Structure 1
Amino acid sequence: LQRIEVFPSEATVRSGHSQQLVVTAVYDDGTRRDVSRVVELRTNDSSLVEIDGAGLATAGKRTGQTAVIALLQGRVAVSRLTVPLETSRASWPEFPIANLIDRHVQRKLKTLGVAPSAVCDDAKFLRRVTLHLAGRIPRPDDIEAFLADGSPRKRAKLVSRLLASPDYADTFAQKWSALLRNKRRGQKDRIAGTITFHRWIRNAIASGMPFDRFVRSILTATGNVSVSPPAQWYAEVRYLDRYVDDTAQVFLGLRIGCARCHHHPFENFTQGDYYGLAAFFTRIGRREGIGVAERRAKETVFIKAAGSVKHPVTGNVVKPHGLGGPDLEVPPYADPRHRLVDWMATRENPYFARAFVNRMWAHCFGRGLVEPIDDMRVTNPATNPRLLDALANEFVDSGFNMRRVLELITTSTTYQLDSSANVDNLDETQGHSRFYPQRLSAEMLLDSIDQVTSRPTAYGGLPVGTRAMQLPDENYSNQFLKLFGRPPRESACECERTAAPSLSQSLFTLNDSFLLGKIFDAKSRAGVLATADGDHAARIRRLFLVALSRPATSIEVEKAVKYVVSESDAKTAYSNLMWALINTKEFQYNH
């Protein structure tokens, strides 16, 4: 059996209607056979579509897209089925096309029959994009200047400024440091390595290093971290299976660990494919302190003359090859890892560029076009595969320019849609008909609290004013960051970062001394506002602007003034107002 095919590979099925699927087996000799009644069929979401044993798919009442998976003798194929919204709409609402993203999203929404929300106002956009690109809330002077700017291109100009800012480099250095497991593990001898590697990552992002060169520098690193900072990756990722698993997960968006022991159950990957990737890393050697944790910072990574890995079933030596690619011959003393990156960083590679743009999409929208974002298998198709392909091609055409992808996303109308739902899209979560609110990351939330209160958090051994977004490794931490989901960097999965709210988090922001100390400190912003010149209304407007990044409404000002004048102590009153604003969903979410 060479492969199986499902017809149709894509279809729209209205609620209550059915679509017959036909599964064909294709053999090496060219023979084709209908196997619809013997193949195993399953759906990724039975609430959208149910599938029977004969291949008849029936749509339910929900709107959305799902995949029907066919499995036969280790081969898989999928059919993507869309259940549109039943609507009698006579016309389509205005949806300005800013770039290629909007063309594909509009096409998808029309297929779903779901109308998009309106474009968000300037204050929402400013806060949203500043959090995503700079990892912080906007400063009050920047808010006032942006809201007063009458230029029709002010949003695009803002994106350009943020992408050129030091805060952009801090934000994405934090992201990649976590994914690359830049981890000290409490060992003093490793601190030089983690700080050096973090600094290298930040400089690479700030300087605009192309992503393919960024990846090559890490995967092909040799030497000591003092002369080759990316070699720090090999201090944490130390064994052949981890080389393969982390490389696939971080840079290819694939979870292929199960193929180490058996054929991947939901993908066309074999054990041979797994060990073909492993073969690229078999010449890695280490000198000085190999296996001794206390001396890893002094370790030197080098390339041996030869190295090999055997297939665990056949016992044959497996030659290096990319997934689905031909075997490669690598001369003695040559570094096979360069051949790996050569295979990865091509337009034809179906994983590398798509994995990066999907990761950036998830950063900005809270969920990827493929979700989970590092599980890009054929049986987990993108919600908008044409958009994913278009973004990947643009990324390759740009020379793997990381900023270009973020610029495209944040200047699109799709990104700038309001988070408020309309009658069509209240339950819609796949088509991006509106912006889906996201809980702020631990670092964003703590930095935002520090900015609002004007009381910076102290991190031992680092300069005063260091932001949580600038911390180089997991050992620089505190109770707040741990409680709000900062990843421990034990794996290369973004799922380590938890954004789900919890009762413990609510109790912490309501009454923990760490937060209350910042708010009620005599030198906090609330204390300063309480003794500042001007009427209460003006000072309250300033507090709202600082905390929520928008002007307060007249009703909010009226109620706040009434409360402040009712209190005998102005500092307590303003501190209570700040406490209340910090505990709102509007403050704790990006929306």
Structure 2
Amino acid sequence: GCHGKTTGRGGFRLSLFGFHPADDHYSITRAARGRLVFPAAPSRSLLLLKPTMSVPHGGGRRLEAGDADYDRLLRWIAESMPAAAPQAAELEGIELFPSERMLKRNSTQQMVVTAVYSDGTRRDMTRLAELESTSPSHATIDRSGLVQIADRTGETALIARLQGHVATARMTIPLDAADVPPVKLPIAGFIDRHVEQKLKTLRIPPSPVCTDSQFLRRAHLLIAGRLPEPAEARDFLSSTEPDRRTRLVRQLVRSPGFADYFAQKWAGILRNKRRDQAGRVRGTIAFHRWIRNAFAENMPYDEFARRILTATGDAAVNPPAQWYAEVRYLDRYVDDTAQVFLGLRIGCARCHHHPYENYSQEDYYGLAAFFTRVGRKGGNGARERRANEVIFVSPTGQVTHPLTGAVVEPHGLGGEEQQIPAWQDPREALADWLTADDNPYFARAMVNRVWGHFFGRGLVDPRDDMRTTNPPSNGPLLDALARDFVNSGYDIRQLVETICTSTAWQLSPEPNPWNLDDTTACSRFQPQRLSAEVLLDAIDSVTGVKTPWENLPLGTRAIALPDEDYSNRLLKLYGRPERESACECERVEQPSLTQALFMMHDEFLETRIGSDSGRAAQLAGDTRDEQERIRELFLAALCREPEPAELKQAMAYLHSGQPPHAAWCDLVWVLINMQEFQHVR
């Protein structure tokens, strides 16, 4: 609220969400000479007059005279505002009951928040807890804890918060339509068993398996970031081998395109950014090459994380040190480490107890303590200070708690404090804790991130916001994926193969009468827009004209660019991130009018389509049958043959009197502007 801000408001300051009761008691009863309370006439206290609007209050009406909260405050003031006794039982946690419930549409459910104290007592605190629903379109909850279920199938999580503690519950609303067919998903592995169980719970029948042409295009674009060549498409679509899809996935995860594509994604997450500084190009190119090699060689993910976190030296010699050259500051070390490798956004805990998690400032500065000995030297001048830096580990360094001033020893989230000798790099201890097989965050964060890439949304979404109050859409599946990832030795290639050979990933994007509204249970494939880099490469592929990049070989793909300093109008329009943040949300995925106008008549596109050396010119001069040439164009753009009506329209246009080159240019333009081309389906 207003008074929970760092500076408070109107001379009155409280801790955010009441995380520091002792400080709040002082602010209410002693600050400003106790002007807020009047024990001689409690009802005349500003603490009651303001929130009831008996006197003007910028925050509006917050209490009603005579209600339970008002009377509780009135009695407390009349009793001389006692503080909690030193021996009083402490709140150890809260419970939200029922924790799970299957409910019909348009029904209600009463929730109860129970506080659990250190002396074993339990108390109903429903009216004092803060309650909310993560999906108000499925269910809402009022202050009394009454849940109103909407007329919609799906799931929602309910969240309760009280004095720094959080609890969640899940409400499931199954489909109650008549004549719903049995839920049956062809089982290819453990992923499908968990998905089928979720669909059975919701009574949502899945769509059928996608066509071979849809799978071919989906696999190439999401695994290797590129379209297949027409010859590749013909070979796959003509194959009768029963394992052709599995073999294609295994081929693509071992292709250069996979390494290029995932290196591009991780270079953004790890902020590999030149910032228009020529002196930094050695470091950014070296770091990008190192990331790409890690994916090309299938470096275990735990080793990948360790080598980044413990990097020292010059980035040109030891490329992972580039991460420290860009991230630089202690708070960013903590924020980025948590978000990138743990899937947690804990920046709030830098200043106060995290409002949506059970993380305190002690936890935040315990992570910060692992980085306090990181030093840097070298560099000349403000612009060059990062170019020649050397990262080293100092024998000394500590961090203090901002409220108590006490030195905080290094410890992982929820872990024990560690005494680290001067000769040891504290970051090695951090890497040990972070990559331990029993770490509850590390493997789950990575498998959720990879799942989100292939399905368009994570099992926890946003993908890097895996807090307690943002529970997964399929918790057992997330746990199973994490266990399998750990047991594989953190094998990213195997993780991708497991996901992409599942039936769940191979479902059709076309909805059936029962799963149209489903976006989380994996009853069908959710179409995704092509990312900026993949779209540019796809346009290059279909037009047959390669985009040139300064100081790079002609034919270098956009997904293989080493840093953000290579400019292009399409990349900017379609939301390529500037790498200012570790959050994947920096990539803009929403469509815009400017994008539509660009695709309609921008010179960039027109020159590529109309190039004398492009695909349109080649097709215009080709002596093969026109229908065969049209089929090749459709294979190049959409990985499928034209429908009979499409073939008829294309033939008619080619014979409409247009010059052959111009007519073929128009056909290329039409395909590029199709939603089917600009999306993965």
1:274 maps to what in 2?
364
SS at match of 1:359: helix
CA–CA distance in structure 2, aligned partners of residues 108 and 333 of structure 1: 51
1:552 maps to what in 2?
642
Write out per-residue CA displacement over residues 385-435 of structure 1, whole angstroms, 9 at most, x where no aligned residue: 111111111111111111111111111111000001111111111111110
Write out per-residue CA displacement over residues 47-70 of structure 1, whole angstroms, 9 at most, x where no aligned residue: 211223332322111111111111
2:176 maps to what in 1?
86
1:436 corresponds to 2:529:
no
Contact kept in structure 2, 1:290 and 1:299, CA below 8 Å: no
CA deviation after TM superposition for structure 1 residue 365, in Å = 0.9
Where relative contact order (Cα < 8 A, 6+ residues apart) is larger, the structure is: 1
2:412 maps to what in 1?
322
2:272 maps to what in 1?
182
Superposed CA RMSD: 1.2
Q: 1:408 to 1:543 in 2, by over 3 A?
A: same
Report the AA paired with residue 367 of structure 2. Answer: L
1:415 maps to what in 2?
505
CA–CA distance in structure 2, aligned partners of residues 412 and 386 of structure 1: 16
> Which piece of structure 1 moves more, 88-97 or 258-267?
88-97
Q: Give me the identity figure in percent.
A: 57
Write out per-residue CA displacement over residues 238-287 of structure 1, whole angstroms, 9 at most, x where no aligned residue: 00000001111111111111110000111101001000010010010111
1:287 maps to what in 2?
377
Matches within 5 A, 1:462-541: 462-541=552-631
1:214 maps to what in 2?
304
CA–CA distance in structure 1, aligned partners of residues 657 and 483 of structure 2: 60
CA–CA distance in structure 1, aligned partners of residues 466 and 183 of structure 2: 33
Greater gyration radius: 2
SS at match of 2:155: strand
CA–CA distance in structure 2, aligned partners of residues 568 and 366 of structure 1: 41
SS at match of 1:296: coil
CA–CA distance in structure 1, aligned partners of residues 392 and 115 of structure 2: 47
Report the AA paired with residue 395 of structure 2. Answer: A
1:577 corresponds to 2:651:
no
1:119 maps to what in 2?
209
1:74 corresponds to 2:164:
yes
Matches within 5 A, 1:397-416: 397-416=487-506
Q: Which runs of 5+ in 2 are unaligned?
A: 1-90
Say which of 77, 98, 103 aligns to 2:188: 98
CA deviation after TM superposition for structure 1 residue 298, in Å = 1.2
CA–CA distance in structure 2, aligned partners of residues 143 and 100 of structure 1: 30
CA deviation after TM superposition for structure 1 residue 556, in Å = 1.1
User: Scaled by the length of structure 2, what TM-score is found?
Assistant: 0.85
SS at match of 2:265: helix
CA–CA distance in structure 1, aligned partners of residues 496 and 110 of structure 2: 40
1:371 corresponds to 2:461:
yes
CA–CA distance in structure 2, aligned partners of residues 110 and 160 of structure 1: 30
CA deviation after TM superposition for structure 1 residue 579, in Å = 0.4
2:346 maps to what in 1?
256
Report the AA paired with residue 155 of structure 2. Answer: Q
Contact kept in structure 2, 1:63 and 1:83, CA below 8 Å: yes
> Which piece of structure 1 moves more, 42-51 or 69-78?
42-51
CA deviation after TM superposition for structure 1 residue 90, in Å = 5.8
Write out per-residue CA displacement over residues 478-522 of structure 1, whole angstroms, 9 at most, x where no aligned residue: 111111111100110101111211111111111011111000111
CA–CA distance in structure 1, aligned partners of residues 330 and 171 of structure 2: 39
Report the AA paired with residue 246 of structure 1. Answer: D
1:389 corresponds to 2:496:
no
1:227 maps to what in 2?
317
2:27 maps to what in 1?
none
1:49 maps to what in 2?
139
CA–CA distance in structure 2, aligned partners of residues 43 and 114 of structure 1: 22
SS at match of 1:71: strand
1:456 maps to what in 2?
546
1:301 maps to what in 2?
391
CA deviation after TM superposition for structure 1 residue 381, in Å = 0.6
Contact kept in structure 2, 1:196 and 1:229, CA below 8 Å: yes
Report the AA paired with residue 377 of structure 1. Answer: R
Write out per-residue CA displacement over residues 282-331 of structure 1, whole angstroms, 9 at most, x where no aligned residue: 01011113883313121111111121000000100001111111111111
> Which piece of structure 1 moves more, 55-64 or 506-515?
55-64
> Which piece of structure 1 moves more, 16-25 or 86-95?
86-95
SS at match of 1:23: strand
Q: Show structure 1 runs of 4+ deviating over 3 A.
A: 290-293
1:108 corresponds to 2:108:
no
Write out per-residue CA displacement over residues 55-99 of structure 1, whole angstroms, 9 at most, x where no aligned residue: 232211111111111111111100011111112336414410111
Report the AA paired with residue 457 of structure 1. Answer: T
SS at match of 2:506: coil
Report the AA paired with residue 236 of structure 1. Answer: E
SS at match of 2:123: strand
CA–CA distance in structure 2, aligned partners of residues 69 and 253 of structure 1: 19
> Which piece of structure 1 moves more, 94-103 or 311-320?
94-103
Contact kept in structure 2, 1:365 and 1:415, CA below 8 Å: yes
1:61 corresponds to 2:151:
yes
Report the AA paired with residue 360 of structure 1. Answer: V
1:147 maps to what in 2?
237
CA–CA distance in structure 1, aligned partners of residues 636 and 365 of structure 2: 54
Contact kept in structure 1, 2:183 and 2:199, CA below 8 Å: no
Alignment length (residue pairs): 591
Report the AA paired with residue 502 of structure 1. Answer: S
CA–CA distance in structure 2, aligned partners of residues 290 and 248 of structure 1: 32
CA–CA distance in structure 2, aligned partners of residues 102 and 335 of structure 1: 43
Q: 1:34 to 1:183 in 2, by over 3 A?
A: same
Contact kept in structure 2, 1:189 and 1:295, CA below 8 Å: no
Q: Which runs of 5+ in 1 are unaligned?
A: none
CA–CA distance in structure 2, aligned partners of residues 219 and 181 of structure 1: 14
Contact kept in structure 2, 1:87 and 1:113, CA below 8 Å: no
Q: 1:551 to 1:93 in 2, by over 3 A?
A: farther
CA–CA distance in structure 2, aligned partners of residues 22 and 590 of structure 1: 44
